[in-house]
Amino acid sequence: MAKGELQVEPGSNTVESKGLKGGALGLLSSVVVGMASTAPAYSLAATLGLIVASGGALLAGVKAPAIILLSFIPMYMIAVAYQELNKAEPDCGTTFTWASRAFGPLVGWMGGWGIIAADVIVMANLAQIAGSYSFTFVGGLGWTSVADLASSTLWSTVAGVIWIIVMTYICYRGIEVSARIQYGLLAIELVVLVVFSIIALFKVYTRTAESYSLMPSISWFWPAGLDFSTVIAPAVLTAIFIYWGWDTAVACNEESDDPGTTPGRAAVISTFLLLATYALVSVAAIAFAGTGTEGIGLGNEENAADAFAAIGPDLFGDSLLGKIGLMLLAASILTSASASTQTTILPTARTTLSMGVYKALPESFAKIHRNYLTPTTSTIMMGLVSILFYVLFTLVSPNLLSALIGSVGLMIAFYYGLTGFACVWFYRKDLTKSARDFMMRGVVPLLGGVILLVVFIYGLIQYAKPDWLTDDDGNNVTILGFGAVAVVGIGALALGLVMMVIWWLMSPDFFRGRTLSRRSSADLVLAPPTAVDPMFGLPDSGDMPTVIAPDLSNLPPGETAVNPETGEEFTKEHQP
């Protein structure tokens, strides 16, 4: 083991936790990390055009705000599932741990892989945006020759790789450093987005905007007239991308001041704040730019990769203030993409940390830095693998980077939906205890999971069509004859199955339930020898608790069983 690293074993008597720095994040910090992870400015710039149109034809059109609103519904439902599961087991493995508890190691491992795959895939797109906007921002400061490098695939890739390295180091350096940086980065992009929206709407309502500008209408928030299978499902999968990331607040649960409560609250609060932000900006952008297929119109396929870059010059103009506005807009996209690069590394490193602790991955992933109290191998590997796939995707085709957003949407729908189902199954024996439990631990998570499953299936069908994504020359972007978006998404899941089988053959303990067993909220566990709050099988709780049969038949003489959900104790003289 390298100097300065700590190896954590599940069930160890000498290590009380995974080694992460507890108490480092409060509610505000958790909300900031959750919102920054979604990268509001970058997400809107990269996806708004794809929601409005696809393949050279309108998709949702002016109904894009309705798609954003519809996408919020399953996001809120899954945020509730995260909140409820986190109350029972605040483990940084999140979906991996909870799905393993509910459905067993095979489903749990794939849930963890879904997180890893989504984060690695999106890093390529994030790095590309951060790299190109670095040159755009510097060019806006007066170094015009540098601005031309933004259109260079080579130099944008080099800059993107540098961004990944820098953000990997920051994540390695400590969660508090990461959180402090997020405060500044998030503030910049939110302020710029609000100013952008105010100026756009002011020009529209004062009729000083463009001839193709549109007057906002409440009907934009209602999806009437949109076909579910060909428009709503694929558009929602794309829109889900802009909400994705709030779960980082939950992935950092073991580093919060109240692991069982604060992360869940932060996740729910983040989704509502994001809804308000996205509703405002999407209406402002559509009203000013319109949905035309030419010029700055959001229906123009050339604007799909970056809607703000197309709108900015017309919105701010050529005056000094206009140039400052354009520079700030570029700064908001740059800070957004770089912030999300950082906060994409955070949850992935903690997922693989948890998988390493439970031996679902090599034990080296469980190493923690003694001074920084952050995952070492997990963080470094996330950075290296992200660089590898970023370069690989770029070499295959720069146009493939646009396909990644839809592919990530498939991954998100997969593991978010799985979390919803895991919540229902984990609490299945307690759903009738109260109306609140029935709704918040049963109905709401189940609906969220079902919605995402349906959207996943219908969206996949559309993404698999050869003409779903085209390049600059109008050629279809395909892999093996199928749409590249579907192939990358399904290919990532298939790769996960292969990796799981390989690791199962090499190290079967996790897959045999020896390190992370199935359990429900109603199961009793053997009371710990010391006075600590009982919770399900976290390495943080010391010894892995022994599951006690409902009839107490396997309860050792003189010992006590406890219900982790209620804290009620049972002995053989006091039958449940």
The pair of structure tokens assigned to 344 is 């994409």
**Of the candidates 496, 479, 462, 62, which has an alpha carbon nearest to the alpha carbon of residue 238?**
462
- The C-alpha atoms of residue 289 and residue 298 are separated, in whole angstroms, by 6
Which residues fall within 8 angstroms of residue 174, CB to CB, at 6 or more apart? 21, 372, 373, 374
Angle at 425 between CA 423 and CA 430, to 5 degrees: 90
Higher pLDDT, 424 or 470: 424
**Of the candidates 444, 496, 554, 536, which has an alpha carbon nearest to the alpha carbon of residue 102?**
536
DSSP class per residue in 73-85? HHHHHHHHHHHHH
The number of C-alpha atoms within 13 Å of 160 and in the hemisphere containing its C-beta is 32
- Count CB neighbours of 142 within 10 A: 10
Higher pLDDT, 220 or 307: 220
User: What is the per-residue pLDDT across 313-324, written as a single tens digit (0 to 9) for each?
Assistant: 888 887 777 788
User: What is the per-residue pLDDT across 382-420, written as a single tens digit (0 to 9) for each?
Assistant: 989 989 988 888 887 666 666 677 788 899 999 999 999
Confidence of residue 553 (pLDDT cuts 50, 70, 90): low
- The C-alpha atoms of residue 27 and residue 42 are separated, in whole angstroms, by 24
**Of the candidates 132, 117, 162, which has an alpha carbon nearest to the alpha carbon of residue 42?**
132
Note the pLDDT of residue 229: 84
Confidence of residue 66 (pLDDT cuts 50, 70, 90): very high
Rg (CA), the chain: 24
Phi-psi region of 569 (alpha: psi -120 to 50; beta: other; left: phi over 0): beta
Phi, psi at residue 343, to the nearest 5°?
A: -80, -5
pLDDT of 111 higher than 70: yes
Helix 175-205 with 27-38: angle, nearest 10 deg: 60
For the stretch 51-63, what's the b/e string if a residue is b when 16 or more beta carbons lie within 10 angstroms of its beta carbon? bbbbbeebbbbbb
Note the pLDDT of residue 245: 79
The pair of structure tokens assigned to 84 is 């409820």
Note the pLDDT of residue 503: 95
pLDDT > 70 in the chain, percent: 81
Q: Given the structure tokens 């980077």, which residue do they identify?
A: 401
Note the pLDDT of residue 1: 43
Note the pLDDT of residue 268: 83
Confidence of residue 535 (pLDDT cuts 50, 70, 90): very low
Measuring CA to CA, how many Å separate 492 from each of 56, 110, 112, 453, 495?
A: 27, 11, 13, 17, 5
DSSP H or E stretch at residue 95: helix 95-103
Confidence of residue 8 (pLDDT cuts 50, 70, 90): very low
User: Across all residues in the chain, what is the average pLDDT?
Assistant: 80
- Most confidently modeled of 198-212, 244-258, 316-330? 198-212
Note the pLDDT of residue 566: 58
- The C-alpha atoms of residue 49 and residue 39 are separated, in whole angstroms, by 16
Which residues fall within 8 angstroms of residue 96, CB to CB, at 6 or more apart? 108, 109, 111, 112, 115, 351, 354, 355, 360
What is the sign of the dihedral through the CA atoms of 305, 310, 311 and 317?
positive
The answer to whether the CB of 39 falls within 8 A of the CB of 55 is no
Note the pLDDT of residue 576: 47
User: What is the per-residue pLDDT across 135-150, written as a single tens digit (0 to 9) for each?
Assistant: 888 887 777 778 788 8
The distance in angstroms from the start CA to the end CA of the chain is: 46
The helix/strand/coil state of 362 is: coil
Note the pLDDT of residue 558: 66
Note the pLDDT of residue 550: 61
User: What is the per-residue pLDDT across 230-239, written as a single tens digit (0 to 9) for each?
Assistant: 888 888 888 8
What is the sign of the dihedral through the CA atoms of 480, 484, 485 and 488?
positive
The answer to whether the CB of 341 falls within 8 A of the CB of 334 is no
pLDDT of 12 higher than 90: no
For the stretch 222-243, what's the b/e string if a residue is b when 16 or more beta carbons lie within 10 angstroms of its beta carbon? ebeebeeeebbbbbbbbbbbbb
List the beta strands (DSSP E) in 55-206. 57-58
Confidence of residue 573 (pLDDT cuts 50, 70, 90): low
Higher pLDDT, 89 or 100: 100
User: What is the per-residue pLDDT across 255-301, written as a single tens digit (0 to 9) for each?
Assistant: 666 776 777 788 788 888 999 999 999 999 999 999 888 888 888 87
Strand partners, 524: 548
Strand partners, 134: none
Across residues 107-136, what is the average pLDDT?
88
Across residues 94-100, what is the average pLDDT?
93
Instruction: Count each helix (H run) and each strand (E run) in the chain, helices first.
Output: 18, 10
Note the pLDDT of residue 288: 93
**Of the candidates 305, 251, 244, which has an alpha carbon nearest to the alpha carbon of residue 37?**
244
Q: Where do runs of H (alpha helix) occur along 507-572?
A: none
User: What is the per-residue pLDDT across 165-197, written as a single tens digit (0 to 9) for each?
Assistant: 988 888 787 655 555 666 777 888 888 899 999
- The C-alpha atoms of residue 356 and residue 363 are separated, in whole angstroms, by 5
Note the pLDDT of residue 4: 46
For the stretch 541-560, what's the b/e string if a residue is b when 16 or more beta carbons lie within 10 angstroms of its beta carbon? bbebbbbbeeebeebeeeeb
User: What is the per-residue pLDDT across 483-523, written as a single tens digit (0 to 9) for each?
Assistant: 888 898 899 999 999 999 999 999 999 999 888 888 766 65
